[in-house]
Structure 1
Amino acid sequence: MAALGVVASAAVFGESYAIHAGKLFDSEKATLLAEQTIHVVDGHIDSVEPGYQQREGASVIDLRGYTVLPGLMDMHTHLLSEHSARSYMDRFILNAPDYTLRGVVNAEKTLMAGFTTVRDLGDMYNATVSLRKAINAGAIDGPRVFTAAKSIATTGGHADPTNGFRADLMGNPVPGEGVVNGVAAAREAVRQRYKDGADLIKITATGGVLSMAKSGQNPQFMQDELEAIVQTAKDYGFSVAVHAHGKEGMKRAVNAGVDSIEHGTYMDAEVMSLMRRNGTWMVPTLMAGEWVTEKARVDGFFPDMVRVKAAEIGPLMQETFSEAYRRGVRIAFGTDSGVSAHGGNAREFVLMVDGGMPAAEALQAATLNAAQLLRVEDELGSIASGKHADIVAVKGNPLEDITLMQSVPFVMKAGIVYKQPQGETSASAGTLEDEGEEQGQ
């Protein structure tokens, strides 16, 4: 697994900044602090002080008219793809380099939208492992990536890569290709992900919407298979993220000890109570529900089998999120970007607030909560001394207008400024791109 500490190697050592923040979002207390100075040295936050302070040799970044926040974190992305009416043909005509190059473009879009850290929950050809390495080395611009590489499915289940193929192409995928049957194969698949260089495990515990398979919610792993995956994952220091729409698959996964349930469409009070007891996170991906609902109305966009599932499942996701929040389920921010367009990730904030979550808690979900889910809260998720200098800013007060998060004019990751409004710094900022506020999204 990639160590988080390697990211610091991409920072500009010797660079120091004094960031003057008109307002600073304290993600631990979910409040705004007025008139703060963030001192950044060698890619890390050195200190946070009240008032507007300066240090000799430090470049001042003037964000007095902005709200400054920790770098945003999206816990459910697919950087190598972006769904379209052509997607079902793409898997027959695109090669590994094609997907990789798409990932390069999408990674930059994600970073420029203010998301400095993401989980990638299922790729092709393990290409996100190479993408992560290139980003960490500073060869390309993108967020800090924690990747599951290839998802783990069962034969015919959601994420079986041969679903929908004609018989002579279907074959019999093996654990290395992400398909398991039985306890031994489940353990083998986890160990293969370790060998491949993944950071975590992603399994598809129920049917899904976009796969060429009839059911969108049936359970697709037996209890002993799930327990084997979780037990083996713990041996290798992996967390386990679980795609799940149907209730029974969720119950089995939560009882097995997984870390997060992604989507959770048919989650009910029983499952929510179980998740609270076990400390299981929910990653709602409301944008995916909105997107599939919209596209299900377009004739010919989805195959008929997929269209039926999209029309049924999409509208329920917002209702389930609202009830899960009301019942106290732990929630971390995630979009399923790669279904919807990359770079538009902040639309999720709007949907979360529409679903009844206060804006401050929605921002917590994408900062402190996400860092806790990733088990990196000592290094990311808040603006505090010793943490990586992942910092973004928006014009105005997002606690009063959450839509402001959809236009992020300032982005710093690991002490490097990638984007900022023109005229807001007293010195050059390394790889600075003066893009202007109007170009944020």
Structure 2
Amino acid sequence: MTTILFKNAKVFTGKNTDFEGIDFAVDTETGQFINKETANADETIDLKGKYVMPGLINAHTHIILDPFFKIGGLSSVNAAQTGAVVNTYIAIDNLNKLLKHGVTYIRDVGSSDNIDLQLSKLEKDNKITAPGIIGSGPAIVMTGGHGVELGWESDGVDEIRKHARTNIKNGARNIKVMATGGVSMDGETPNDVQLSVEEMRAAVDEAHHKGYTACAHAQGTEGIKNAIRAGVDSIEHGIYLDDEAIQMMLDNDTYLVPTLMAPWAINQHPEKLPDFMVKKSLAVQEAHIKSIGKAAKAGIKIAMGTDSGTAYNDFEKGPSQELEQMVDAGLTPLQALQSASINAAELLKINDYAGSIETGKLADFIIIEENPLENIKAVQADKIVYKKGKKVE
């Protein structure tokens, strides 16, 4: 066992409201924070006033997708065609990028060949060094619906219940359903209603029976409300939130995962992407930003998620840029940091062992030079990353 005592840092634990002078200790064998008062430190590291915060949690990723189309064509179509070996290679590369840039836990919300589920088990068993993974397996979509290239086409309550149960059998700890259309597919709009309330509720019930979570891709207003009625734990994207939808989320304690980086990244590359995609993305960006600001002001719980893997939406700077986008939309810097730590951990149901700097929890943390509560862009700078008490090289 090796114990390391970190001294003279300014620490945001995830539960306090400012960076405070706190010394802390880790056990590199168990990978946990330990009581600094009883630790017999083998090594002491003086952080000399640097800023420490929990490793970032990204609650919306697609690790098998290549956002830069190195193989050619749209990423979701590529992944459907390239197969498990290539997609696993892409996923491992993306996980390495996430970890290097400070993301120590993710929720993946749409994969193929159960790649996210198998990599999750390998990480949990310490066979690979990567962010922890809450996997969903293939998303559940209506026939011809959003995400069909990688989703599990399902129609009717019985079929959806079967597929949700199969995902859970294979290791899913979250079930993803598609409530609406979206930006990235031609022939549909974000306002299209797709899976019904009854269909989504069947999937949600199966997840909740096991103590797991369910989330919904939901962009248009009626689809958002349908997903809330079905009992999902989080709304992904939430582009067109009206006052009634916001109140429904508050009444049902439904989280919001904004993914502001998804349209932003598309809109930075209009000449490289299909016209249908760019046109829809440009059309939703203003409403999206406005909705997220209203949600934050109303007190909806927000968890950071980027939709990494979609077009030009990268696994490196994307998560820290998402924090900046959320602050620009109206979150306070504190709300942004909470969204990527304790809030995301609570949504993913990993808060018993991750998401904050506390004795007994995983020693996942990052060290940065400046205070992100004063300038949220501080998280975008170079950082030192620790995963399970060990420095990421």
Place the TM-score, normalised by the shorter chain, in its bin: over 0.9
SS of 1:64's equivalent in the other structure is coil
User: 8 Å contact 1:242–1:258 — kept in the other structure?
Assistant: yes
Cα offset for 1:55? 5.5
Where does residue 91 of structure 2 map in the other structure? 103
CA distance in 1, matches of 2:202, 2:365: 39
Q: Deviations over 1:12-57 (max 9, x none)?
A: xx121101142011321221112x21111232111257xxxx9544
1:394 to 368, 375, 388: 368
Cα offset for 1:304? 3.4
CA distance in 2, matches of 1:358, 1:230: 31
CA distance in 1, matches of 2:268, 2:322: 15
Quick one: structure 1 residues 21 and 379, their matched pair in 2 at CA, closer, same or farther if it must change by over 3 Å? farther
Q: Quick check: 1:23 aligned with 2:10?
A: yes
Q: Quick check: 1:77 aligned with 2:61?
A: yes
CA distance in 2, matches of 1:316, 1:404: 27
Please say which structure displays the higher CA radius of gyration: 1
Cα offset for 1:212? 3.3
CA distance in 2, matches of 1:408, 1:118: 20
Cα offset for 1:115? 0.7
Cα offset for 1:104? 0.7
User: 8 Å contact 1:129–1:147 — kept in the other structure?
Assistant: yes
Cα offset for 1:134? 2.8
Quick one: structure 1 residues 221 and 256, their matched pair in 2 at CA, closer, same or farther if it must change by over 3 Å? same
SS of 1:369's equivalent in the other structure is helix
Q: Deviations over 1:320-378 (max 9, x none)?
A: 11111112211111111112011112101111111221212210111110111012222
User: 8 Å contact 2:365–2:386 — kept in the other structure?
Assistant: yes
Where does residue 25 of structure 2 map in the other structure? 39
> What RMSD in Å do the two structures reach over aligned CA positions?
1.8
SS of 1:116's equivalent in the other structure is strand
User: 8 Å contact 2:79–2:87 — kept in the other structure?
Assistant: no
User: 8 Å contact 1:156–1:213 — kept in the other structure?
Assistant: no
Q: Quick check: 1:334 aligned with 2:305?
A: yes
User: 8 Å contact 1:17–1:60 — kept in the other structure?
Assistant: yes
Residue identity matched to 1:25: F
Where does residue 303 of structure 1 map in the other structure? 274
Q: Which 5+ residue runs of structure 1 have no aligned equivalent?
A: 1-13, 163-176, 419-432, 434-441
Paired residues for 1:135-150 under 5 Å: 135-150=123-138
Q: Deviations over 1:47-79 (max 9, x none)?
A: 257xxxx95442112212310111111101111
Paired residues for 1:69-218 under 5 Å: 69-84=53-68, 86-88=72-74, 90-91=78-79, 93-161=81-149, 178-218=152-192
TM-score, structure 2 normalization? 0.93
Cα offset for 1:412? 1.1
User: 8 Å contact 2:179–2:196 — kept in the other structure?
Assistant: no
CA distance in 2, matches of 1:378, 1:393: 22
Residue identity matched to 1:306: M
CA distance in 2, matches of 1:123, 1:282: 21
CA distance in 1, matches of 2:205, 2:105: 27
User: 8 Å contact 1:110–1:143 — kept in the other structure?
Assistant: yes
Q: Quick check: 1:314 aligned with 2:285?
A: yes
Residue identity matched to 2:54: P
User: 8 Å contact 2:186–2:277 — kept in the other structure?
Assistant: yes
Cα offset for 1:395? 0.6
CA distance in 2, matches of 1:102, 1:157: 25
User: 8 Å contact 1:292–1:314 — kept in the other structure?
Assistant: no
**Equivalent residues, number:** 384
CA distance in 2, matches of 1:309, 1:126: 30
CA distance in 2, matches of 1:55, 1:196: 40
SS of 2:34's equivalent in the other structure is strand
CA distance in 2, matches of 1:30, 1:157: 42
Where does residue 59 of structure 1 map in the other structure? 43
Paired residues for 1:416-435 under 5 Å: 416-418=390-392, 433=393
CA distance in 2, matches of 1:346, 1:262: 18
2:237 to 254, 263, 283: 263
Cα offset for 1:237? 2.5
Residue identity matched to 1:376: I
TM-score, structure 1 normalization? 0.83
Cα offset for 1:186? 1.1
Where does residue 174 of structure 1 map in the other structure? none
User: 8 Å contact 1:74–1:335 — kept in the other structure?
Assistant: yes
Quick one: structure 1 residues 87 and 237, their matched pair in 2 at CA, closer, same or farther if it must change by over 3 Å? farther
User: 8 Å contact 1:82–1:342 — kept in the other structure?
Assistant: no
Q: Deviations over 1:67-117 (max 9, x none)?
A: 011111110111111334634362464121001001111101101111100
CA distance in 1, matches of 2:368, 2:141: 40
Residue identity matched to 2:184: L
Q: Which 5+ residue runs of structure 2 have no aligned equivalent?
A: none
Q: Quick check: 1:360 aligned with 2:334?
A: yes
